[in-house]
Structure 1
Amino acid sequence: MRWWRQLSVVLALLCGCATSPGGKPPPEGNGPPPPVPDTLPWTPCGRTAIPLGPAPEESDRGVPEMVDGERALFFVAEAGATGQGVWASRGTRGPGSCLVRVLSPGPTGLGPSEATRVGNRVFFAAEDPEHGRELWVSDGSAGGTRRVKDLWPGKTGSEPQSLLEYNGLLYFAASDPEHGRELWRSDGTDEGTVLVQDLDPGPEGTSPDRMTRGGDGALYFLAHFQGLSTVLMRSDGGPGAVELARVPSEGGILESLTTAGRRLFFVMGHLHDPEMHLMATEGGAPTLVSMFAQVGGMAALGGQLYFSATTGKAGTDAELWRSDGTEKGTQRVKDLRAGEAGSAPGGLTVMGNRLFFAADDGTHGRELWVSDGTESGTHLVMDLEPGAGSASPAELMVAQGNLFFSAEVTGRGREPWVSNGTAEGTVPLDELAPGALSSDPRRFVRAGEDVFFTAADGTGTRKLWALPLRPQGQCGASASWQALRRDVVTSAR
């Protein structure tokens, strides 16, 4: 993590501003946190999140543009009437959120997006009036926040997308007049930003996307040829990418590439076949694992793939399944809701050696469940909305052995919650929007010694918030996990 500590130093200096835009004074000093033994468990410090200023922008996928680091958060947000800006925050250890640099609005008015950390810098796509949307980079300082290269000269812009860190470099899809939309990589310099391979020579382009690091260390991605074929490619990061599978674009490869152990899993569809094909590869030709009516929600645990799948023709009996990449080793974990309805598992999230998810067993409504991969070890964590009503947990995220999520219960609306994986340790944080109003928390991200997220206050204004998360014994007795659990577990029931 040495490279991120370098960025942390810069961000710490930037966040020495005297005031916090829209935020409250931090509850702690600005000094660096004391050394922490790796063996100590981490716990939330109380249940009160602190507002830190403007909420990060949301991408076209509805995901806030936030990048976590060891001691700071890097994000994109509004910068007053001037448009968007690059921001940094040290959360409750610092004075709130600090504006690093204002970015001038471009031809489309769209804000920066796809912030991706590579080494001691953060890359993102942004536009300006003269160059359109191009690749930018930031080291956390105003002077170090700059356009990397004008790949498509003029106002058109190369439209960088699908940014991914791979072997210390940034890989992304972008367009230029000569090659169309192809795979590029960058080390953050003009001369080090180069075309990796022109998969379809000429200006047509293959629009690479869904870039993923496989269990074998290779780079996998999808390429699209002339609107007719979708191709799974494997690359060592240089020219000479190998084609592993080709399917018609209609139907195509439908579910994100997911690594579990040494296998890469994906779902393949066909226009004239109603069934979905769960496929796997270890670097060679993909093999058929199993067939389902529908497949989704993939997560890796213990070298196996966990996912939601339906087997009935109606496509409504979704339950939790697991696979080791073989037909025999692909099994339903548990039939939580017998019959055609299905429990519809969603939000699959791994914490330690267990999988947490939301599901509806037909009795308790849609609630929080946990599984160790066995039928007997798959059970309800807690009925947050007692009875048939649903709390509908969402936005699940793990930070240092703590599960953060949003849930909606009567009288409280949708608010933030935290769990240590037990019923007794599943508790709500303080309401950010009072009464039945909902703050609708989104995108929990751990950075440094805080968990950040966006949420609306009582006026409906969405802000960036942070909850202190510290090693055991460093919160103070009044704000320890034990105190949090004691104070709210009764009311939570």
Structure 2
Amino acid sequence: MGRRWLKLVALCAIFLLGSIWLPAASAETSVVTLNDLALGTTSSISNDTMRIVHNGLAYFTANDQSNGWTLWRSDGTAAGTFRLTTAQQTNIIPQYLVGYGAYAYIATYTHTDGYSIWKTDGSPNSISKVVSFDSSSVTTGYVKISLMQVAQNTLYFFFAYESMVEVWKLDQALQPVRIKAFRASAMQFTVSSIDRLVEFNGAVYFLVSTTDIPFWGYFSDLWRTDGTPEGTYSVQVIDGRKYARVQGPVVAGGKLIFNSLLDGVVASNGYPNGSEPLFDTIEDGDAPMQLVSVNGIGLLTRYHGHRLWRTDGTVEGTYPIDVNPHGPDNLIFGPVVGNYLYFTAEHPSYGRELWRTNGTLAGTSLVIDGIAGPTSSNPINFATVGKQLYFTATNSQGGVQPWKLDCVGANPQMIGPIDSISANANPGMYLETPQGIVFAANTPALGHEPWLYRESGNTWLKSNAVVATASDQVAAIPVTIGNDGTIMQQTLELTLILTDRVEYLSDTSGITPTIQANSYAWKLDRIAANCNEHSFVVYVKLPSFSLNQHRPFTLQLSGMAPGDSANDNQVNGQLVVGTPLFLPAVQ
């Protein structure tokens, strides 16, 4: 009895300590040229090219020196990298690219169709027009088209001309619908722009920033829409003065936050006359106006600011996070990845290096001093790929090469090198495809062309070593499959083996398992790469088992791409019967 009790205590200790992560498999990596789109040393792409990733395809603009700048796509293979625009569509040069549903949508201007929206599913000859805007009555030439990000599962776009703004959307049948047209200014020689859409209090809010062309003045109004004409209206003027310049909004602390040139940080409850200033300050630095939201906290820099500020929408919750107390930080924001904003900042001990923050003082830290000491590695060209950060930085040999962080946002690793470790490859444009990361890099022999980075060996399986329940109660076996490499796993099979009267009841995968005796197999398609995970729970029953009894179970993962090690693709666990007081059943 004593040995059985000690065994149970040991198993429970493992259970209380949590999940068991098996050692990561060693990865196999390769960096190769994907295509030479412009033959010879002529470059076909730049790091600033328009691009998106949608439905497993990378869309980008390139110039093959035969057709000018046109839209291309890539699935990460040479054969799957080709020009989408036909000979008759070469003037469709994207100003905006947004993925929505089965299509990538394009906002552009052409000589034949004017300002227009187009779509493609990435297959050859698939570009077709969605809608053209009638600009025949525009006499000043001040016109702007904006294709926005998806908000509330709706694709919005805007057409602004002279003093007017038209709000459009795609309906459920993917047909264009004009929601409302309104006058943003009483003056004719103006043009309006919309920077971002924010979901807030059941509606979509956006800032209409209008420029008075002759006098070069700005003014900003807050609008909201629920996708209907009656639900689309002006909330309030955020700043109507001549030199107003306002960023936002973002949501922080349950409020809308704006970064205003003249008024500082402003919070709004989304109702008329519902705004209040939180703080204003004049700083002497080189940072541009910047504004994002992380973990419900607004992060910003002021115009010509020199340090990072945070706000939760209250006066007392608005204060600086100074990474360099002895001088200007001069921050440049990168992307938000997970719970952190990544940015570069200047520091006398490190130079300009990569930092991150979760919006708190304790959660703000240097990621790495890329070149030890005050010499800067100058990280640039940031991109979120899956749940990882990719970027470009200078190494200690003077080479400018591609880098990435690991799945916890630390431990930078150089990719390549391209050409040589001391070469200025000037990489950028990091795009996720099923076959790896497509990125741009420069070599003397090819110019600036697409390359492919592949990393295998990083698919893993995780569960609990001990799953506890009371007798005759249901036990829940957690399953998590992760892919830390760059190659999408197209078809995997997960097998669960149960023993001695343990009954399978159900699971939350949404997939019907194949059952053979005490073996249960799930076919899993398209497990995304770059630190993505797929989780579900399997419910089993342990009938009429006595206290302290335990039964083994095994989880096995198979079907990985070649080069993926198997040493982290199996979990051997125990189903343990305990008293409800100490080992409650998982419901």
TM category (shorter chain) comes to 0.7 to 0.9
1:222 equivalent in structure 2: 207
- TM-superposed CA distance for 1:199, in Å, is 3.3
> Which of 197, 221, 224 lines up with 2:181 in the alignment?
197
Larger-Rg structure: 2
Amino acid in the other structure paired with 1:115: L
Aligned residues of 1:56 and 1:66 also touching (Cα < 8 A): no
Distance 1:42 1:117, change over 3 A: farther
| Pairs within 5 Å for 1:433-472 | 433-434=419-420, 436-448=422-434, 450-459=436-445, 461-468=447-454, 471-472=458-459
**Cα 1:376–1:129, aligned 2, differ >3 Å: closer, same or farther?**
closer
Aligned residue number for residue 125 of structure 1: 107
- The CA deviation at 1:182 is 3.0
Answer yes or no: is 1:76 the counterpart of 2:61. Answer: yes
1:209 aligns with 2:194: yes
1:253 matched residue in structure 2? 245
Which residue of the other structure, out of 229, 232, 237, is the alignment partner of 2:227? 237
1:281 aligns with 2:297: no
| Pairing 1:431–2:417 present | yes
* 8 A Cα contact 1:152 1:175, kept in partner: no
Given that residues 253 and 266 in structure 1 are in contact (C-alpha distance below 8 angstroms), is that contact kept between their aligned partners in structure 2? no
1:238–1:77 Cα change, 3 Å: farther
- C-alpha contact (below 8 Å) 2:73/2:122 kept by paired residues: yes
Give the CA deviation at 1:104.
Answer: 4.1
Q: Which residue of 2 aligns with 1:338?
A: 325
Cα deviation, 1:147-203, whole Å, max 9, x if unaligned, reads: 2223226799975224332344432222579x8443333459896342522235999
Residue 303 of structure 1 corresponds to 296
Matching residue's letter, 2:299: Y
Post-superposition offset of 1:110 = 7.7
Do the aligned partners of 1:206 and 1:223 also contact (CA within 8 Å) in 2?
Answer: no
**Structure 1: how far apart are the matches of 2:224 and 2:455?**
39
What SS does the corresponding residue of 1:375 show, helix, strand or coil? Answer: coil
Contact in 1 for aligned 2:425/2:441 (Cα 8 Å): yes
Letter in 2 for 1:343: D
Distance 1:151 1:41 in 2: 54
Selected match of 1:183 from 147, 150, 167: 167
Closer, same or farther: CA 479–415 of 1 in aligned 2, 3 Å: farther
In the TM superposition, 1:328-407 aligns within 5 A as: 328-333=316-321, 335-339=322-326, 341-407=327-393
- Cα displacement string for residues 359-412 of structure 1 (whole angstroms, at most 9, x for unaligned residues): 222111111223344434433222211211100112233334432111113434
Equivalent residue for 1:149? 131
The alpha carbon displacement at 1:430 in A equals 0.9
TM-score normalised to structure 2 length: 0.62
2:279 maps to amino acid: S
Please report how far the alpha carbon of residue 46 of structure 1 lies from its aligned counterpart in structure 2 after TM superposition: 2.2
CA contact (8 A) 1:137 1:147 kept: yes
Contact 1:182 1:206 in 2 (8 A): no
Aligned to 1:101, the other structure's residue is in SS state coil
1:200 to 1:349, Cα distance in 2 relative to 1, 3 A = closer
Q: 1:292 corresponds to which letter in structure 2?
A: T
Q: What is the aligned counterpart of 2:157 among 160, 172, 182?
A: 172
Secondary structure at 2:314's aligned position in 1?
coil
**CA distance 1:192–1:478, shift in 2 (3 Å):** closer
Superposition deviation, residue 86 in structure 1? 3.0
Contact between 1:214 and 1:264, CA under 8 Å: does it hold in 2? no
Closer/same/farther in 2, CA of residues 348 and 265 from structure 1, 3 Å limit: farther
Which of 18, 26, 29 in structure 2 is aligned with 1:46? 29
Distance 2:24 2:187 in 1: 54
Q: Which residue of 1 aligns with 2:573?
A: none
Q: Which residue of 2 aligns with 1:15?
A: none
Establish whether residue 321 from structure 1 lines up as the match of residue 304 from structure 2. Answer: no
Cα distance, 1:42–1:206 mapped onto 2, change above 3 Å: farther
1:10-69 CA distance string (max 9 Å, x none): xxxxxxxxxxxxxxxxxxxxxxxxxxxxx99999752625434548866xxx74221212
Task: Give 3-state SS (helix, strand or coil) of 1:81's partner.
Answer: coil
Q: Which stretch of the first structure deviates more once superposed, 198-207 or 292-301?
A: 198-207
1:293 matches 2:262: no
CA contact 1:172–1:183 (8 Å) conserved in 2: yes
CA distance in 2, matches of 1:477, 1:279: 54
RMSD over aligned CA atoms reads: 3.9
Distance (Å, rounded) in 2 between the aligned partners of 1:437 and 1:253: 41
Equivalent-residue separation in structure 2 for 1:201 and 1:410 (angstroms): 54
Secondary structure of the residue that 1:214 maps to in structure 2?
Answer: strand
Map of 1:411 onto structure 2:
397
Q: How far apart, in 1, do the equivalents of 2:132 and 2:110 lie?
A: 11
Alignment check: 8 A CA contact 2:71 2:93 kept: no
Instruction: Give, in angstroms, the shift of residue 456 of structure 1.
Output: 1.9
- Give the direction of change, closer, same or farther, for the CA distance of 1:378–1:393 in structure 2 (3 Å limit): same
Structure 2: runs of 5+ lacking an equivalent:
1-21, 38-42, 461-482, 486-560, 568-587
The verdict on how the C-alpha distance between 1:399 and 1:40 changes in structure 2, with shifts beyond 3 A counting, is farther
The equivalent of 1:490 in structure 2 is: none
Contact 1:135 1:160 in 2 (8 A): no
Which secondary structure does the structure 2 equivalent of 1:405 belong to? strand
User: Cα–Cα, structure 1 residues 325 and 63, in superposed 2: closer, same or farther, change >3 Å?
Assistant: farther
Once residues 211 and 423 of structure 1 are traced to their aligned partners in structure 2, the CA distance between those partners, rounded to angstroms, is 26
8 Å contact from structure 1 (residues 52, 91) kept in 2? no
* Counterparts in 2 of 1:364 and 1:477: CA distance versus 1, 3 Å: farther
The 2-side partners of 1:456 and 1:74 are apart by: 19
Structure 1 CA distance for aligned equivalents of residues 361 and 181 of structure 2? 47
- For the residue of structure 2 that corresponds to 1:437, the secondary structure is coil
Q: For 1:147 and 1:441, how far apart are their aligned partners in 2?
A: 33
Relative to structure 1, the CA distance from residue 172 to residue 45 in structure 2 (aligned partners, 3 Å threshold; closer, same or farther) is farther
Secondary structure at the aligned position of 1:91 is classed as coil
- Does structure 2 conserve the Cα–Cα contact (< 8 Å) formed by 1:125 and 1:136? yes
Structure 1 338/185 Cα, relative in aligned 2: closer, same or farther at 3 Å? same
The AA in structure 2 aligned to 1:286 is S
Provide the aligned length of Structure 1 versus Structure 2. 424
* Partner-residue secondary structure (3-state), 1:123: strand
CA shift in 2, pair 1:79/1:128, >3 Å:
farther
Distance of 2:61 and 2:137 partners within structure 1? 22
After superposition, the Cα gap between the structure-2 partners of 1:210 and 1:41, relative to the gap in structure 1 and judged at 3 Å, is: farther
